[in-house]
């Protein structure tokens, strides 16, 4: 029995990146031997074990053969006779098919180390096309390593395009699509993930709401990049520079979905695109089973993302209404989130990337000032008043403070 460190841990170590998870490969063993040694069997589809002390994952070496569609369409073969090279052969990319033994010796039968040096994402064999999830994985790796200037090998991109021309991507489970997408949203350059999906044809299949934004024009005066799809990617790029919050990043991705539905005879203007985008966000989030917190913020983003742009000219009632729309009183973190989404939208334009978006800071400062009001004290002081009157009283007090803040700001 031999044990090797494999996959991302070896790859990231060679790239001098932080290693967070370790996957181990066991060659020359079987289920009975592993359980006798105290390993806990947890794999449902193939033999995976948890180490009795470290709880890290140990998988038996295996081969696989495609028999049907989707993730369940594989037959796995795991015995003590499966070799290290046979197991590495079934993996997706050469950079993920490097093994390291306990002495630190590296085993690299498919030249993954050379491809790391060349900064190329390249498939190992034609069996790559058997698993449609690999289209998303390669896109995610492209986003993960974009800051290191990795690129996808042309032959691998061609395979991905071929895979998108079949019906295989339709067999992907929503949970698996979202898992890859959320991981991509956590990278430094999540926009690269969606750009790669579009390049190979997967965006129109998995994210048609986003794909339809390409080719939709916007006024050149405000959007020198003109194309709404390009603007969306620029917005996501800015959002990822401003925050690690994937709720904000995903909401920024969705903020202009409604522009694909506005009447073409009105283009390049898109009156009412905010409200029009709400059903599209709901449909997308339902289809991919996206968490409710992210869905809720995305809906609010399409409603409010452009309201902050002219906040200095808005009347106090309209400003206060924004806080009411986002339920800022019960969800205070949304104030900063909406401010970041609005800033991403404003800066996600050619030649506007470096503007000082003071509107977002202004929106946050107003909220802090209004929050001087203690609603609990109002309830105690006016305990004899009914709910509707209390609500109106609180509204008036907040409006009074908001007006005071605006006047003080003007004096400054």
Each residue's pLDDT tens digit, 320-349: 999 999 999 999 999 999 999 999 999 999
**15 belongs to a structural domain:** yes
**End of a domain among 87, 118, 149?**
118
- pLDDT value at residue 41: 93
143-195: pLDDT as tens digits: 999 999 999 999 999 999 999 999 889 999 999 999 999 999 999 999 999 99
Question: Residue 259 forms beta bridges with which residues?
Answer: none
- pLDDT value at residue 64: 82
The C-alpha atoms of residue 172 and residue 179 are separated, in whole angstroms, by 11
- pLDDT value at residue 397: 87
The C-alpha atoms of residue 383 and residue 44 are separated, in whole angstroms, by 59
**383 belongs to a structural domain:** yes
> Average pLDDT in the 263-283 region?
96
Q: Structure pTM?
A: 0.93
**129 belongs to a structural domain:** no
Q: Is 255 helix (H, G, I), strand (E, B) or coil?
A: coil
Output the DSSP codes for 288-340.
TT--HHHHHHHHHHHHHTTTSTTGGGS-HHHHHHHHHHTTTTT-THHHHHHHH
**9 belongs to a structural domain:** yes
Residue 284, class by beta-carbon neighbours within 10 Å (0-12 exposed, 13-18 middle, 19+ buried)? buried
**124 belongs to a structural domain:** no
**286 belongs to a structural domain:** no
17-74: pLDDT as tens digits: 999 889 999 999 999 999 999 999 997 777 899 999 999 999 999 998 775 665 565 6
119-140: pLDDT as tens digits: 999 999 999 999 999 999 999 9
**69 belongs to a structural domain:** yes
Cis peptide before 267 (omega within 30 of 0): no
**8 belongs to a structural domain:** yes
> Average pLDDT in the 374-378 region?
68
Domains contained in the chain, number:
2
* Residue 320 · residue 395 · CB < 8 Å: yes
* Residue 228 · residue 273 · CB < 8 Å: no
The C-alpha atoms of residue 55 and residue 40 are separated, in whole angstroms, by 9
Between residues 390 and 254, the one the model is more confident about: 254
**End of a domain among 92, 118, 144?**
118
Cα angle, residue 144 at apex, residues 338 and 130 outer, rounded to 5°: 115
Q: At 98, which CATH number? A: 3.30.460.10
Q: Residue 381 — pLDDT band, cuts 50, 70, 90?
A: low
**End of a domain among 84, 118, 152?**
118
Q: Which domain holds residue 81?
A: 1-118
């Amino acid at each position: 029995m031999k044990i090797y460190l494999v996959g991302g841990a070896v790859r990231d170590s060679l790239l001098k990146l932080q290693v967070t998870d370790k996957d181990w490969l066991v060659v020359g063993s079987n289920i009975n031997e592993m359980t006798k040694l105290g390993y806990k069997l947890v794999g449902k589809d193939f033999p995976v074990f948890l180490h009795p002390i470290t709880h890290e994952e140990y998988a038996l070496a295996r081969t696989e053969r495609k028999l049907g569609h989707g993730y369940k369409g594989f037959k796995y073969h795991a015995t003590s006779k499966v070799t290290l090279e046979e197991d590495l052969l079934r993996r997706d990319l050469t950079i993920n098919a490097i093994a390291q033994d306990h002495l630190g010796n590296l085993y690299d039968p498919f030249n993954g180390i050379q491809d790391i040096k060349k900064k190329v994402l390249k498939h190992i064999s034609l069996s790559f096309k058997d698993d449609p999830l690999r289209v998303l994985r390669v896109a995610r790796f492209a986003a993960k390593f974009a800051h290191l200037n990795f690129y996808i090998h042309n032959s691998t991109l061609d395979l991905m395009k071929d895979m998108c021309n079949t019906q295989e991507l339709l067999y992907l489970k929503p949970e698996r699509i979202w898992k890859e997408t959320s991981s991509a949203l956590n990278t430094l350059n999540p926009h690269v993930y969606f750009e790669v999906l579009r390049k190979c044809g997967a965006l129109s299949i998995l994210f048609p709401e986003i794909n339809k934004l390409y080719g939709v024009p916007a006024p050149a005066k405000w959007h020198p990049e003109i194309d709404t799809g390009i603007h969306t990617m620029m917005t996501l790029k800015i959002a990822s520079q401003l925050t690690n919050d994937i709720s904000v990043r995903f909401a920024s991705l969705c903020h202009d979905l409604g522009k694909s539905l506005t009447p073409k005879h009105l283009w390049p203007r898109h009156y009412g695109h905010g409200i029009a985008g709400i059903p599209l966000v709901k449909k997308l989030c339902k289809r991919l089973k996206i968490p409710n917190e992210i869905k809720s913020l995305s809906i609010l983003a399409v409603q409010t993302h452009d309201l902050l742009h002219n906040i200095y000219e808005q009347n106090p009632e309209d400003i206060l209404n924004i806080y009411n729309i986002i339920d800022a009183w019960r969800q205070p973190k949304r104030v900063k989130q909406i401010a970041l989404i609005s800033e991403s939208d404003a800066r996600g334009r050619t030649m506007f990337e470096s503007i000082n978006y003071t509107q977002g800071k202004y929106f946050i400062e107003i909220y802090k000032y209004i929050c001087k009001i203690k609603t609990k004290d109002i309830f105690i002081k006016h305990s004899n008043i009914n709910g509707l009157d209390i609500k109106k009283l609180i509204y008036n007090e907040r409006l009074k403070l908001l007006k005071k803040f605006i006047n003080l700001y003007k004096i400054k």
